[in-house]
């Protein structure tokens, strides 16, 4: 997959990204999840607290950022 048209919009732990991924799916926003935590564990080291990165297509960045603000400012 060509990641050149994707931009990172969020990075956090695995649990924190669950609501975000669900909201993106409901809105039809395609995303890539880079799970550095799982990759690190498989390689024998820990990936860090913000090891999950969510990337969306450049055309969806504004909509994704709005969803992120709604979810995490509501808490």
What tens digit of pLDDT does each residue of 1-11 get? 555 699 999 99
Please state the separation of Cα 23 from the chain's center in Å.
Answer: 11
| Residue, of 49 and 23, whose pLDDT is higher | 23
What's the structural domain count of the chain?
Answer: 1
Tell me the two tokens of residue 66: 């709005």
User: Above 80 in pLDDT, residue 74?
Assistant: no
User: Above 60 in pLDDT, residue 23?
Assistant: yes
C-beta of residue 5 within 8 angstroms of C-beta of residue 11: no
* Residue numbers of the domain that contains 40: 3-73
pLDDT of residue 49: 53
Q: What is the CATH number of the domain that holds 63?
A: 3.30.70
Q: Global pTM?
A: 0.75
C-beta of residue 53 within 8 angstroms of C-beta of residue 33: yes
How far CA 4 is from CA of 21, 28, 31, in Å, comes to 20, 20, 13
SS3 29: coil
Q: What CA–CA distance (Å, rounded) separates 43 from 3?
A: 23
pLDDT digits (tens, 9 = 90+) for 42-73: 555 554 556 889 999 999 999 999 999 999 88
């Amino acid at each position: 997959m060509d990641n050149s048209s994707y931009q990172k919009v969020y990075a956090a732990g695995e649990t924190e990204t669950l609501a975000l991924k669900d909201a993106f799916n409901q809105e039809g926003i395609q995303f890539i999840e880079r799970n550095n935590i799982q990759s690190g564990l498989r390689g024998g080291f820990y990936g860090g607290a913000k090891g999950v990165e969510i990337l969306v297509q450049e055309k969806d960045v504004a909509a994704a950022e709005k969803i992120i603000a709604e979810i995490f400012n509501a808490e």
